[in-house]
Structure formats: structure tokens, C-alpha cells
Amino acid sequence: MDYAAEIEQIAAEARRRSALLMDEIDEIDRQTAMRAEQFAVDAAARLRELAEQEPEATETAEPQPVQPEPDYEAPARAAAPPVAAPFVPDPTMTPEQQRQAEIRAVVARARAAREARSTVAPSDGDYDSESEYYRRSTWLD
């Protein structure tokens, strides 16, 4: 059995199938473009019809008063966790004690960073009671 010929046959079949798939994708792209163009033409025609019908309605209609948004008070936010102080070497410490103090400082900074990222505050200013449910501190209640 000639493995090189078999590999070439498999590769040719893969290229043929790939070409068929690419042709199918090109056809789908062409149909999508035609549908999008037709949709744009139909939408423009509908907008023209609405614009022709609306002038009579908008001239006789009275302006609607704008309702102000209700005021809300932001709930008190949790205090930020204290920031761990950077490690400052002490000349009276042994090298082993300095290494351990440095490790403790790194762990404290990592813990503070994790706690800072776990505090969730809404970005859209939505302080209603329903969203407060999802911002609660624990889900074990």
C-alpha cells in the first residue's frame, strides 16, 4: 500500500469539500446581501408612507409634557478594605525574617486586591430594591 498516494487522495478530497463549503458560504453571503438590500428598500418605502401620513397627525397633536425621572438616593456603599502597606526591609531582621515578612506583605496585598474586586457597585446608577437583591453580600441567606 502506498501511503503517499493515500495521503494525497485524502488531501484532494479535503480540498474538494473545502471548495464546496466556500462556494456554499459565498452563495449564502450573496443571498444575505440581496435580502438586506431588499429590506432596506422596503423599509425606506414604509418610512416614506409613514412620513406622508404623519404630518397631519403631528400638526394637530399637542406636545406631551416630559415627566422628570424620579429622584433616588444611593445606598451607602461598603467601606473599601484597607490597603496593605508595602514591605519595607528592617535592618535588624535576619534574612529569613525579611523573606517571611515580604511574603506576608505580598499575601496581604493579594488579599486586599481580591476583596476590592469582590465589591460590586452598579455602573448605571440603578438603585432600586429589585437590583439590591442581586447586589447582596451573601447568597447563603
Same-domain check for residues 44 and 91: no
Output the average pLDDT for the chain.
79
Q: How confident is the model at residue 16 (pLDDT cuts 50, 70, 90)?
A: very high
Same domain, 49 and 13: yes
Query: Is residue 72 classed exposed, middle or buried when 0-12, 13-18 and 19+ CB atoms within 10 A define those classes?
Result: exposed
Show the domain range for 97. 81-120
Confidence of residue 120 (pLDDT cuts 50, 70, 90): low
Q: What is the pTM of this model?
A: 0.34
Tell me if 72 is assigned to some domain: no
pLDDT band at 83 (very low <50, low <70, confident <90, very high): low
| Per-residue model confidence (pLDDT) at position 88 | 73
Question: Would 113 be classed as within a structural domain?
Answer: yes
Do 2 and 49 fall into the same domain? Answer: yes
Domain count, the chain: 2
User: 52 and 86 share a domain?
Assistant: no
